[in-house]
Amino acid sequence: MTQPKSINLTRYLVEQEREHGAITPHLRLLVEVVARACKRISLAVNKGALGDVLGAAGSDNVQGEAQKKLDVIANDVLLEANEWGGHLAAMASEEMDTVHPVDSHYPRGEYLLLFDPLDGSSNIDVDVTIGTIFSVLRIPADAGEPEERHFLQPGRDQVAAGYCVYGPQTQLVLTVGRGVAVFTLDREQGSFVLTDGDLRIPPSTGEFSINMSNMRHWAQPVRRYIDECLQGKEGPRGRDFNMRWVGSMVADVHRILMRGGVFLYPWDKREPGKPGKLRLLYEANPMSLLVEQAGGAAVAGAQRILDIEPTALHQRCSVMLGSREEVERLQQYHAQSA
Ligand code: P6P
């Protein structure tokens, strides 16, 4: 049998369903619908100043952050795309205060979809890489009308997670619990083509990713880790380190998935009452599942992120993830200082 020149997303998902029983028909439909929505978002992002997509939307999100026009466009595209398929019970988004049950006009399915429709919004107007992050949970069987409490599940219970990164290429990175697959958008045929069927993060790295301007606010274990990296070959690590910070989690995490590294957005004393800046349910959890499925690790200080029991839809957490050896070192430094 001649091997196909390329496997697209649909064939990959059919094989995951048929050969591995890894997904259900509804989950296959969900991923395909989200991927199609990401293609539409990518087109809007690529329009830039040529379309009415840049600048502020004139509204704030639940985080009190000014929304960009593309935040709202991306959110609306994902809501519309997922409303009618019968695969979802409800959705939740960084851009919406409360959960969004699927309109009772349509059949409801067994899944919950959470997303940050356009992560890295501060980069939109300066043409720096941004992306869409999504997470999939099952709604409890006896749930009835979908409510916020149904979304409050630990990240280890996700049935799928992924992101679409809008950079020099548009790439979809996905896990359905059997490793990580990478698809690159072929705009000529209009489909995501499999370009890596089993992405693995290198266990060690010489590259860290953190916003250094916050250094004076960090807790001691993070200070220690970064100071040791900065001491380079002459210091306790015995090697030099490089640093990258895009300011868009999708871009930084994608680089780490592709070539290794460690990403940190830790707690700091600027807002001591908040555990961190990034959101647990639709940023940290999906990225942590992808990183672990690729052989890396993801912690909030000493605790595994995927074990955090959520108490609120938009709660935040400290994030340290990437190459396993570096994350385990950070986890150890936090455990020692506890
Ligand atoms: P800072 C984007 O706004 C975001 O939520 C993440 O994508 C990114 O990693 C982080 O904030 C950047 O935060 O404080 O460096 O601007």
CATH code for position 49: 3.30.540.10
Region 20-44 average pLDDT = 94
Say yes or no: 51 and 146 in one domain: yes
> What residues contact residue 99 under an 8 Å CB cut-off, 6+ apart?
90, 91, 92, 146, 147, 148, 150, 151, 313
Among 196, 231, 258, give the residue marking a domain's end: 196
Q: CA-CA distance, 89 to 144, in Å (whole number)?
A: 10
Both 125 and 243 in a single domain?
Answer: no
Ligand 1 center to residue 285 CA distance, Å?
Answer: 16
Mutate to test the pocket of ligand 1, among 277, 278, 287 (most ligand atoms within 8 A of CB): 277
CB of 249 within 6 A of ligand 1: the answer is yes
Residue 327 lies in domain: 207-337
Q: Is 39 exposed, middle or buried (0-12, 13-18, 19+ CB in 10 A)?
A: middle
Q: Establish whether residue 120 lines the binding site of ligand 1, counting it when its CB lies within 6 angstroms of any ligand atom.
A: yes
> Per-residue pLDDT tens for 94-127?
999 999 999 999 999 999 999 999 999 889 889 9
Question: Do 149 and 213 belong together in one domain?
Answer: no
* CATH number of the domain bearing residue 262: 3.40.190.80
- Taking CA atoms, 146 is separated from 61, 105, 141, 256, in Å, by 22, 15, 11, 35
Convert the pLDDT of each residue in 244-301 to its tens digit.
999 999 999 999 999 999 999 999 999 999 999 999 999 999 999 999 999 999 999 9
Let me know whether 187 and 219 are in one domain.
no
119 lines ligand 1 (CB under 6 A): yes
Say if residue 15 is in the same domain as residue 113.
yes
In a domain, 99, yes or no: yes
Same structural domain, 230 and 287: yes
**Which of 149, 167, 196 is at the close of a domain?**
196
Boundary of a domain, candidates 146, 165, 196: 196
Element (DSSP H or E) covering residue 138: strand 130-138
Is 202 domain-assigned?
Answer: no
Residue 4: which pLDDT band, with cuts at 50, 70 and 90?
A: low
Regarding whether 311 and 262 lie in a shared domain, the answer is yes
Say if 1 falls within a structural domain. no
Say if residue 147 is in the same domain as residue 239.
no
332 and 237 Cβ atoms separated by less than 8 Å: no
Concatenated DSSP letters for 146-187?
--HHHH---GGG-SEEEEEEESSSEEEEEESSSS-EEEEEET
Sign of CA dihedral 23, 287, 188, 82: positive
Q: Is the pLDDT of residue 202 over 90?
A: yes
Residue 201 lies in a domain: no
Residue at 23: amino acid letter: I
Q: Which residues pair with 134 in a beta bridge?
A: 115, 162
Spatial CB neighbours of 5, under 8 Å, sequence gap ≥ 6: none
Q: How many domains does the chain have?
A: 2
Output the CA torsion 315→317→322→323 (10° steps).
-140
